[in-house]
Amino acid sequence: MPLPMTSNQVLDREFLEIRAKILDLAASFDRLDRADGSVVGDPRQSLVQEALSVLSSTQKDRAEQIQLLFSHHYEDDWQEKFNLPSAAKLRTRST
């Protein structure tokens, strides 16, 4: 069983990928800044800012928190809202 990597080993392995992703984000924000119009008040912009806040925190579960931030909350009646048959109805049809 391999031993877990040290934090220095993880950084050695992932530094270039992290750097590339940060540069990609910076380029996206630069494009937004140069574009005509404004995204002030757009809920997606607020979500991005909140995600950046989570990312810059020291929480141990940042990936989970960001995933939850961008996810819809589960609703039991989602199939009805999208006019889809439930799994039970599909089982009944196939028998």
Predicted model pTM = 0.70
Position 11, amino acid: L
Distance (Å) of CA 29 to CA 32, 46, 49, 51: 5, 13, 11, 14
Residue 20 in domain: yes
Number of domains comprising the chain:
1
pLDDT at 95: 59
Structural domain for 53, as ranges: 7-80
pLDDT in tens, the chain (95 residues): 778 999 999 999 999 999 999 999 999 999 999 999 999 999 999 999 999 999 999 999 999 999 999 998 888 888 888 888 876 666 666 65
pLDDT at 76: 85
Residue 64 in domain: yes
pLDDT at 73: 84
pLDDT at 89: 63
pLDDT at 2: 79
CA angle 72, 38, 24 (to 5 degrees): 65
Residue 1 in domain: no
